[in-house]
Structure 1
């Protein structure tokens, strides 16, 4: 295991940029870029030093952008913060792109490249080659425009509120009413939330149309048939193909969706309902009040630190450091962007967790999830090059989703009664079963969208409904709610802000179940495998990182069936 004590980290002293350097304009960073572009390289040692200096520059720029993004999402109504972020997107990022390509070319053509044998170097070069292949100068203004449009989603969603019991609530806060034992209260909250989203459907459709058009242009500019194929290259998906994704969709439809029907039928019967409606899907199946594992952001982080510490003291220290450094913004409030994230900060190596917590089980699990990402940042912070610290999402999400499960043995910290603890575990395991079909839904929808970039809004609506029904239960009655159902996809931030970043959740969910299965069989070995995998960062191919965790990189029908059977067995234990 790693060291059990960890002092507050300090940013490493810079050796290339001045220690007091501040990014004001592009001109302030340009001399350092020029140095890298034109510096003579006469040996493998010179080239290694060049990569180290480049890494330092990239880490600085990444962290500078990160803080602009973090501060904007914490307060989307602050025009100064919005402008500060937009300035980077408009005036800095477009200039970084061609220089990055020039630096890639310089490195790839260097005669000493093959002399460097450092761990992970080949993986970095593989990604660099792919980036160089797909780079096009004419895409720079297109990418700037895309990023500007993407930011509009958070502003639109962040302004959405509803009034319940005379109080103005964010949609995240209002969604807690969906767990109420009062069915009329659930229905009221559901309809108000759905109607509020529906009010902005045209605005969000228009924004999405614009993004599709721009993304397709980006793909064709780079000589790809469509944006899906472009993104598989851009995301560095060396380990699987679109056809593997289609196989995943089919496997989930055949192996997991039947379980959704069983769970929905059981829910209908236990709640003693003639008809199961969408507002009946979040209430506890025994019709008990919603679980409240914490009452404030402070309590949430303190209990999570204790939970992580019981797994391993080092893990708890990671979150304790973040708390001490003020790298947390946890509670929901008006003006915050939706969603939650763990944002790596490449220079200091201590990430930032953002979320919209109220007091629900979902929020507790989100904190555990983002905490898994945070631990990953700590475990990779000392890797020698910045590129090594950023594994693909199939690995990053393994870190977070595994933490949700291996922490379950210590969830008693959040629940005083054994009954509440069992309810929490049951709800979470049911959520895992629901996650795989939802991932398949969103992923299959994205494939269709970008394979048919000229589709109409009406065609998109019909396709969404067709795909949604393929991966959802057939028990829930949507009568009178068809229009709301047709726009459920608009609540999925990833479609707007990080396209094609979703299948990773499905792949990683399978990996997380496997990590948990190992942990249940042998806690010490299971946890050690988890940490072994995370420490690798991106110095190995995905399959070898999974292997380090003692699990296969596999999402075949047979494997999915085996893992879901394990989850079902564990679920029976907590009923």
Structure 2
């Protein structure tokens, strides 16, 4: 399946098997039929919901393919036109009709009889959508959808010259892991200078997005876009104040551990000052780890690794390979980043990423595989709403898979010292990402609470927040011009506002599941799979409980999880030192014998 307008698989029989989405008129009759259909009894309503779910799945997959093809080659004008056409000429009609159908559903005389957990969750989402809908926001939403793609276009065209060759920023960032410090500094400088070339374009883009988003919130009756976003993201289980508590807990419990790790790094590297280009190199001063040779090698080893966690996990990714549902290799013109895209009718996901032979790529594949496996495990749930997960749950699936897989990385690292180095790197990154998540989230809280801010005010607030969540051991002197716009690198701020704190919430949950896995592996996996299979048929808290963990934000809980990771890192460092001593001793004995 390689075209956005292909005839898609059917599940329920409501739509014809040869239906294609090219114009609004192709699907208008099915919206019309649902709007006019008589619902005389409970079973009629149940069938109506199933048919609407099939229509939603068809539209979801059609739009997903357009997005995938645009991601694969941002220079493909046909893909660009297909995507823009759908957003401009199909989506607005869909949004208005969707509201009509949702209103019909919530006013149905048989609604109270829909009492199973999947319907309870679904109806809560529908009622929220009805309350939030505003006709004036439809054209604004269309404009925003088109504008946000400009961010990906700008970054996809960024390259720098290294050793006489042009390379993408993602490929160039790999060089920050090399032992040559002067070269790392040079690459760091080139990357940031290149991003600064587009500073004005990115600043202008964000200015426009902030104003449009603020207008949407006010149109819908909200004081600000933050409060509107919390409702729009269906955050029923926690409040903005909980996020602020999480920020504070991270500052109190995670930053001191990072300072400790950075002091050790500075000492191991024998540096007077630890600079930002010293943060990605192995703390022992070794060269970068290369867990695989190419995308096919990454995939083969990834399947083997996942199979060791649970045989079904490997089988699912193998099926995706057979169906050509992965595009892993980095190349010019590809959208930066990585994602998993559920295909709601095909009942298979698609994994997109930019592999460049790094440890980060290995983590990315495990992460996206977690998303893919999550979706596959829910493929037989009736309603599309049950297969669309709260991000706090979907990221729990993905981040947990990263940590579970780490215990089986022998597949990628037959050398014991390299295996331990990779695990230390992974756990350090688990901690490093939490302050960055808090930084990005707190910045967005401020931005949308002060929508009329100036660029200078925004810059000042960003620097204040960044400083609060940065390690005091790292020396950023003379780099202020890079720091001022560091947030430009974060796609989520531009494309999916407020979708980032979920990573922090899920990371804490993933640590908790991994902790259980270390204690009772079989039960931890059983509970993890059970939680994933629930899809979105329960609340976030109930799904976390099914996984055998708590849904908490308080400092005491975060301190407990942070201590566990800290002790694991210390244990791994001790193991690495022992291996290195043993290797050195063996080398001396060999030389003596010679």
Aligned to 1:174: 172
Structure 2 counterpart SS, 1:342: strand
Residues 390-433 of structure 1 show CA distances to partners (whole Å, capped at 9, x for unaligned) of 11000000000000001112101001200000000000000011
* Residues 145-224 of structure 1: pairs in structure 2 closer than 5 A: 145-224=143-222
Q: Is the 8 A contact 2:10 2:17 kept in 1?
A: no
Residues 183-241 of structure 1 show CA distances to partners (whole Å, capped at 9, x for unaligned) of 01101110010100011111100000010010001100101001101000000000000
Structure 2 counterpart SS, 1:290: coil
Q: 1:395 aligns with which of 393, 396, 401?
A: 393
Residues 478-502 of structure 1 show CA distances to partners (whole Å, capped at 9, x for unaligned) of 1221100111100000000000000
Matched, 1:122 2:123: no
Matched, 1:466 2:464: yes
Q: 1:93 aligns with which of 91, 94, 98?
A: 91
The whole-number CA distance in structure 1 between the counterparts of 2:443 and 2:114 is 42
The whole-number CA distance in structure 2 between the counterparts of 1:237 and 1:14 is 30
Residues 107-159 of structure 1 show CA distances to partners (whole Å, capped at 9, x for unaligned) of 00001011122232111111111110010001000000011100100000000
The whole-number CA distance in structure 1 between the counterparts of 2:375 and 2:79 is 25
The whole-number CA distance in structure 2 between the counterparts of 1:302 and 1:422 is 21
- CA shift, 1:14, in A, is 4.1
The whole-number CA distance in structure 1 between the counterparts of 2:92 and 2:555 is 43
Q: 1:428 aligns with which of 426, 429, 439?
A: 426
- CA shift, 1:573, in A, is 1.6
Q: Is the 8 A contact 1:13 1:19 kept in 2?
A: no
Q: Is the 8 A contact 1:311 1:407 kept in 2?
A: yes
Aligned to 2:32: 34
Q: Is the 8 A contact 2:349 2:375 kept in 1?
A: yes
- Stretches of structure 2 lacking an aligned partner (at least 5 in a row): 1-7, 574-594
Q: 2:410 aligns with which of 391, 409, 412?
A: 412
The whole-number CA distance in structure 2 between the counterparts of 1:416 and 1:395 is 33
The whole-number CA distance in structure 2 between the counterparts of 1:441 and 1:471 is 6
- Stretches of structure 1 lacking an aligned partner (at least 5 in a row): 1-9
Q: Is the 8 A contact 2:56 2:384 kept in 1?
A: yes
* Residues 83-482 of structure 1: pairs in structure 2 closer than 5 A: 83-482=81-480
- CA shift, 1:13, in A, is 4.2
Structure 2 counterpart SS, 1:18: coil
Structure 2 counterpart SS, 1:232: helix
Q: Is the 8 A contact 2:257 2:566 kept in 1?
A: no
Structure 2 counterpart SS, 1:407: helix
The whole-number CA distance in structure 1 between the counterparts of 2:308 and 2:205 is 46
- CA shift, 1:539, in A, is 0.2
The alignment yields a C-alpha RMSD, in angstroms, of: 0.9
* Residues 473-512 of structure 1: pairs in structure 2 closer than 5 A: 473-512=471-510
Residues 248-271 of structure 1 show CA distances to partners (whole Å, capped at 9, x for unaligned) of 011111111111111111111110
* Residues 513-552 of structure 1: pairs in structure 2 closer than 5 A: 513-552=511-550
Q: Is the 8 A contact 2:99 2:130 kept in 1?
A: yes
Structure 2 counterpart SS, 1:99: helix
The whole-number CA distance in structure 1 between the counterparts of 2:117 and 2:553 is 28
The whole-number CA distance in structure 1 between the counterparts of 2:41 and 2:511 is 47
- CA shift, 1:11, in A, is 3.9
The whole-number CA distance in structure 2 between the counterparts of 1:486 and 1:259 is 25
Residues 425-471 of structure 1 show CA distances to partners (whole Å, capped at 9, x for unaligned) of 00000001111111100000000000010111111111111001101
The whole-number CA distance in structure 2 between the counterparts of 1:75 and 1:350 is 22
- TM-score, with normalisation over the residues of structure 1? 0.98
Q: Is the 8 A contact 1:510 1:555 kept in 2?
A: no
Residues 263-308 of structure 1 show CA distances to partners (whole Å, capped at 9, x for unaligned) of 1111111100011111001000000010000111111111111111
The whole-number CA distance in structure 2 between the counterparts of 1:238 and 1:119 is 16
Structure 1 counterpart SS, 2:14: coil
The whole-number CA distance in structure 1 between the counterparts of 2:16 and 2:9 is 13
How many pairs does the alignment contain? 566
The whole-number CA distance in structure 1 between the counterparts of 2:456 and 2:410 is 48
The whole-number CA distance in structure 2 between the counterparts of 1:128 and 1:145 is 24
Q: Is the 8 A contact 1:162 1:193 kept in 2?
A: yes
- TM-score, with normalisation over the residues of structure 2? 0.94
- CA shift, 1:12, in A, is 4.4
Aligned to 1:6: none
**Greater Cα offset, 210-219 or 258-267:** 258-267
Aligned to 1:7: none
Q: Is the 8 A contact 2:269 2:285 kept in 1?
A: yes
The whole-number CA distance in structure 2 between the counterparts of 1:116 and 1:179 is 55
Structure 1 counterpart SS, 2:167: strand
